[in-house]
Amino acid sequence: MELPEETLQRYRLLEKSLSADCGPFQLFGIFLRENAPNRWDIVASAHWIEASHMNARNLFARRLQKEFPVDDLILLSQIALFPPTGADYETAMRRIERAVRAASGSAELEHSLVEMRDVDLFGQTIDRAYIITAQSLTVPVPA
């Protein structure tokens, strides 16, 4: 299943808006898991996402309800938020970095769009992923 261009543009605007309001994302993408046909996950990682994720999750939910039509919202399965640390994160980001470099010539992507297909990320088989922002693992972490 592909997402319509109009929907992808809404996700790009959402990511850009949240980045401007809260701080940059290390990863922001829309993933279609193999075992969840027609249900998309928002996957986001940022230093500003706190340990409990509740405030960030509520912020995402409010923005989604405000900026997306119901037809787009019913295609969402979950909002997966996590800090940019750990072995699973690093493995996934290296795979994403390779795909971004192949598509754009750069290891980083910000407020743009790169599509990935049939890849294992974060312990899940992903049929399709739209990566909107991906910061290289070599980018220094803000203090």
Q: Please report, as a single letter, which amino acid is at residue 51.
A: A
In order along its 143 residues, the chain shows pLDDT tens digits of 789 999 999 999 999 999 999 999 999 999 999 988 889 999 999 988 876 678 888 999 999 999 999 999 999 999 999 888 888 899 999 999 999 999 988 888 899 999 999 999 998 999 999 999 999 876 444 44
Half-sphere exposure of 64 (CA within 13 A, CB side): 19
Question: What is the pLDDT, as a whole number, of residue 30?
Answer: 97
